[in-house]
Amino acid sequence: MESPGIIIAFWVLAAVTVGGCLMVLVARNLLHALVFLVLAFLGMAGLFVTLSADFIAVAQILIYAGSIAVLMVFAIMLTPLAARDNANSLYLLPALAAGLGIAGLVSVVAVITPWSELKGDALGQSDPVTTVSAIGDLLLGRYVLPFEVASILLFFALLGAIVLVHERRGPREGS
């Protein structure tokens, strides 16, 4: 990945993503935090595009920015009397320590480990034209059992969400 386009795209998208995450942390309003969260999700989709993962990038936009963000909107709007200020609890300092520790540790490990990664021309040659059909083959071939389990999980999550939020009312009057 040495072409200037990829390099510029990587740095810009990384800045957008990490900046969006930071703004989720420091925003004073829950709705503002949600907007920055969507920004971070979109930046992440861009990073996936730089990694030639076209299907995953589109799925990221569809699921995270399109669905989960809207679910959060609904959750925020259905809790009208709750605080909207995105406040921190007393655990802020330990949490900061833990977060910095994890990030620092993983970063150091990532930098000092001699990864046997592809570089230069080999990387360009292994650039896939399409990933969709390969993902489909894998999902319905090697990973068919996890695929079915995931579908059952989704189904029960759907049922669970409906059952949890369903308001038990008396029989409806009228039609």
Partner 1 sequence: MLGLSVTLAHYLVVSALIFGIGTVIALSKRNAVAVLMGVELMLNAVNLTLIAFSRFSSAFGQNGQPLSGHVFVVFVLTVAAAEAAVALAMAVLVYRQRETVDLDRINLLRG
Partner 2 sequence: MSTAPRPATPMARQILEHRSLLQRAYALPGEVFFPLLFVLLGGLAATVGIGFLVVAGYLDGRWYDIRDLGNGTSHFRYWAQQQGLPPSVAYLTTALLGGIGILSLVGGWLVIGSWVERRLIAKFQIRQGPNRNGLFGLLQPIADALKLIQKEVLIPVGADRLLFFLPPILIFLPAMLGWAPIPWAAKMSYVDMNVGVVYAIAISSLGVLAVFLAGWSSNNHYALLGAMRTVAMMVSYEIPISLSLLGVVLFTGSLQLSQIVVWQQTYHIWMVILLPFAAFAFLFASTAEINRTPNDIGEAESEIVAGFHTEYSGMKAGLFLAVELGNAILVGAMMSTVFFGGYSFFGLETWIPGYLILATKIGAVYFVFVWLRGTLPRFRLDQLMSFAWKFLIPLSIIQLLVVSVESLVIAQSDLPGLATVGGSVVVNLVLTYFGVRAWANAIGYAPNEMASPPIMTNGVGGLRAAEQIRAGR
Residue 98 interacts with partner 1 (CB under 8 A)? Answer: yes
Contact of 43 with 20, CB cutoff 8 Å: yes
Among 28, 63, 124, 148, binds partner 1 (CB under 8 A): 63
Q: Out of partner 2, partner 1, none, which partner does residue 148 contact, by CB within 5 to 8 A per kind?
A: none
Burial tier of 121 (Cβ tally within 10 Å: 0-12, 13-18, 19+):
exposed
Binding mask 103-142 for partner 1 (x = CB under 8 A): xx-xx--xx---xxxxxx-xx--x-x--x--xx--xx--x
Contact of 41 with 65, CB cutoff 8 Å: yes
User: Minimal distance in Å, beta carbon 62 to partner 2?
Assistant: 4
Q: Which one, 81 or 173, has the nearer CB to partner 1?
A: 81
Contacting residues toward partner 2, per CB under 8 A = 3-5, 29, 31-32, 35, 38, 54-55, 58-59, 61-62, 65-67, 69-70, 73-74, 77, 129-130, 132
Side-chain-side CA neighbours of residue 11 (13 Å): 6
The dihedral formed by the CA atoms of 72, 149, 56 and 138, expressed in degrees to the nearest 10: 180
Q: Which one, 106 or 169, has the nearer CB to partner 1?
A: 106
32 vs 18: CA distance, rounded Å: 16
